[in-house]
Amino acid sequence: MENWSLFSLCVLLGLTSRWAVSFHSYSGAGKPPMFGDYEAQRHWQEVTYNLPVHEWYFNTTNNDLNYWGLDYPPLTAYHSLVCAYVAKLLNPEWVELHASRGYESHSHKLFMRATVLFTDILIYIPAVLLYCFYFCDGSSKQKVATALCILLYPGLILIDYGHFQYNSVSLGLALWGILGLGLGWDLFGSLAFTLALNYKQMELYHSLPFFCYLLGKCIKQGLIGRGFFQLAKISLTVLVTFALCWMPFLSDPKQPLQVLHRLFPFGRGLFEDKVANTWCSLNVLIKIKTLLSRETQLFLSFALTLLFILPSSLKLLSKPNLWQFKLALVNSSLAFFLFSFQVHEKSILLAALPVCLVINEIPLIAIWFLLTSTFSMLPLLVKDGLLLPYVVTSLAFLFLSLYLLSALERSTEEELRLGLYRKLTRHWLPKLNLSRIIKWKFWFSLVAMAALSFTSVWLEPPAKFPDLFPVLVSILSFLHFLGFIIYFNLVQLMEPQRKKSQKKTN
């Protein structure tokens, strides 16, 4: 079959599954007084439409910051403004100041879902297609298979089209950034990534690899000559983009400070709710949240994050190519997720995106990670009433990606990129069959996740530990993520050379 038909079929399948998930419930549906993220997005449309710019981030009589105050950078606000204009055209009641709080109706839900679909089609999906087209090895069927697997990643679909968020915008822009850098268009890539950063501040998780990659490239081009000019151009692009995005807020020095205060609420504490990261899991054994002072917590988190990011970033600095870049993105975002301050469970999507990009090179581990990341959000999804889509999309993703990418066949030690590791351990454990061990671990972990999903839905937790199941889910996911960060660090740091010549050729 021709390329265009394969790609369009792939896109149509992705779109159909997205819209099918959107039929289901959203966060905070029918739960006054606070509702959920869906109401937050609607409220931001109301605020940005009705209030002047200088009031958006401030606590005024018209803008109660305790009721879903804006806590994303300006680009999100502008996006909400545009959506609000459309909403006003369709039904002014949706964005009526104060009166529209908690507004819920079938047509409004359709409108909101349509806005997500629209931005998805505009930003995320073309980026995925272009990525697979340009940077995927293999025949066109292989490329389409990869694109389909990436598009069917359950986590993003469930959060964007179920829970309700606009992650596809920030992740899509970041992907455009990666595309730009991969194609050698550094300025375009930096522009796209800066826009992503200005859409959601969590993109900072990705910023260090971007910085190291560009710096490394410039250094390679010679820090005195071309490299310096390149660096200057990139910095200028970044600064100008920032200035343009923050322009309405630059008139008064109080404005940017307040915005930053909203974006980085250090007052909030080490973690909230149940997240699959170190602090939350440690808290089960030692109550670090109460034991240590705020400063110690901050310091500890900073130190550990740095510890895990530094090796990967330095390696990237020394060898700035696309493969290292992708792995560094994975390592950096995972490190931030595991050790940083105020992490939400949805932030795992930031690590999931770069893992999607390596799904073609290390299919088994990537699929394993992606499934775990979806599983780690299970408590959130169950709370939103998204159990059925969760089960269906995860199973569909599991079977289709294992089948399309032949993940189980492509899991020799060489292909798992653990050749060097194997050579080192050959002394102590000569009979170790890494490939078989990893496959067994994969199946075992799937069974554990399925069992825990099942029990957390069907069984009642004991009265003494009402939070038992979410805690178990986060601890299990945490252990997985710890294993993954070690694995990906190993793969990145032990990479002797990009073995392009030894890639499978058929």
Q: Give the list of residues 6+ apart from residue 108 with CB closer than 8 angstroms, or none.
A: 42, 91, 94
For another protein, the closer CB: 263 or 402: 402
Question: Which of 110, 429 has the CB closer to another protein?
Answer: 110
Per CB under 8 A, which region of 341-349, 390-398, 442-450, 489-497 contacts another protein? 390-398
- CB nearer another protein, residue 66 or residue 505: 505
Asked if 446 touches another protein (CB under 8 A), the answer is: no
Residue 166: CA count within 13 A, CB half-sphere: 26
Residue placing its CB nearer to another protein in the complex, 22 or 305: 22
**Is 140 one of the binding residues for another protein (CB under 8 A)?**
yes
Q: Does 12 bind another protein (CB under 8 A)?
A: yes
Q: Of 17-25, 33-41, 192-200, 281-289, which segment contacts another protein by CB under 8 A?
A: 17-25
Q: Using CB under 8 A, which of 50, 91, 142, 283 touches another protein?
A: 142
CA 287/CA 284 separation, integer angstroms: 7
Other C-beta atoms within 10 Å of 190: how many? 23
* Binding status of residue 105 toward another protein by CB under 8 A: no
Q: Where does this chain touch another protein (CB under 8 A) — which range of 5-13, 243-251, 260-268, 471-479? A: 5-13
Lay out the site mask for another protein across 457-486 (x = CB under 8 A, - = otherwise): ------------------------------
CA distance 178 to 327: 12
Q: How far is CA 54 from CA 48, 74, 97, 246, 247, in A?
A: 10, 11, 17, 11, 11
Length of the chain: 506
In angstroms, rounded to a whole number, what is the distance separating the alpha carbons of residues 436 and 331?
A: 25
In 2-36, alpha helices (H): 3-22
Q: Quick one: which of 102, 138, 256, 483 contacts another protein (CB under 8 A)?
A: 138
Report yes or no: 350 and 114 within 8 Å, Cβ to Cβ: no
Considering the complex, state which of residue 22 and residue 492 has its C-beta at the smaller distance from another protein. 22
Q: Is the CB of 17 or the CB of 80 nearer to another protein? A: 17
Please report whether residue 504 would count as binding another protein according to CB under 8 A. Answer: yes
CA distance 149 to 398: 9
Q: How far is the CB of 388 from another protein (least distance, A)?
A: 7
Contact (Cβ atoms closer than 8 angstroms) between residue 48 and residue 81: yes
- Rule CB under 8 A: say whether 19 interacts with another protein: yes
Candidates 59, 60, 62, 139: give the one binding another protein (CB under 8 A). Answer: 139
Q: DSSP state, 462? A: P
The answer to whether the bond into 33 is cis (omega within 30° of 0) is yes
Q: Quick one: which of 392, 420, 434, 490 contacts another protein (CB under 8 A)?
A: 392
Nearer to another protein, 208 or 362 (CB): 362
Contact with another protein (CB under 8 A) among 59, 62, 107, 455: 107
Q: Is 406 in the site for another protein (CB under 8 A)?
A: yes
What single letter denotes the amino acid at residue 504? K
Q: Is 403 in the site for another protein (CB under 8 A)?
A: yes
Among 337, 334, 342, 333, smallest CA distance to 289 is for 342
- 396 CA to centre of own chain: 20
**Segment 187 to 206, residues that bind another protein, using CB under 8 A:** none
Any contact of residue 502 with another protein (CB under 8 A)?
no
Encoded one letter per residue, x for contact with another protein by CB under 8 A and - for no contact, window 290-309 reads: --------------------
Which region, judged by CB under 8 A, interacts with another protein, from 32-40, 60-68, 327-335, 393-401? 393-401
E strand or H helix that includes residue 343: none
Tell me how far CA of residue 98 lies from CA of 67, 240, 337, in angstroms. 11, 36, 36
CB of 14 to another protein, least distance (A): 10
What is the DSSP code (8-state) at residue 460? P
Rounded CA-CA distance 377/279 in Å is 17
Residue 400 CB, nearest approach to another protein (Å)? 7
Asked if 506 touches another protein (CB under 8 A), the answer is: yes
Please report the DSSP string for 178-199 in residue order: HHHHHHT-HHHHHHHHHHHHHH
Which one of 250, 291, 396, 459 is in contact with another protein (CB under 8 A)? 396
Number of alpha carbons in the 13 Å side-chain half-sphere of residue 97: 10
Determine the Cα–Cα distance for residues 330 and 357; give it in Å rounded to an integer: 10
Minimum CB distance to another protein, residue 506 (Å)? 5
Residue 63 CB neighbour total at 10 angstroms: 19
Stretch that binds another protein, among 35-43, 207-215, 399-407, 463-471 (CB under 8 A): 399-407
Binding mask 23-42 for another protein (x = CB under 8 A): xx------------------
Select from 19-27, 69-77, 168-176, 421-429 the region that touches another protein (CB under 8 A): 19-27
Of 120 and 186, CB closest to another protein: 120
What does the DSSP assignment read for 377-402?
THHHHHHTT-HHHHHHHHHHHHHHHH
At 190, phi and psi to the nearest 5? Answer: -65, -40
> Is the CB of residue 478 less than 8 Å from the CB of residue 281?
yes
Q: Which residues bind another protein (CB under 8 A)?
A: 1-2, 5-6, 8-9, 12-13, 15-17, 19-21, 23-24, 106-107, 110, 117, 137-142, 145, 388-389, 392-393, 395-396, 399-400, 403-406, 409-410, 504, 506
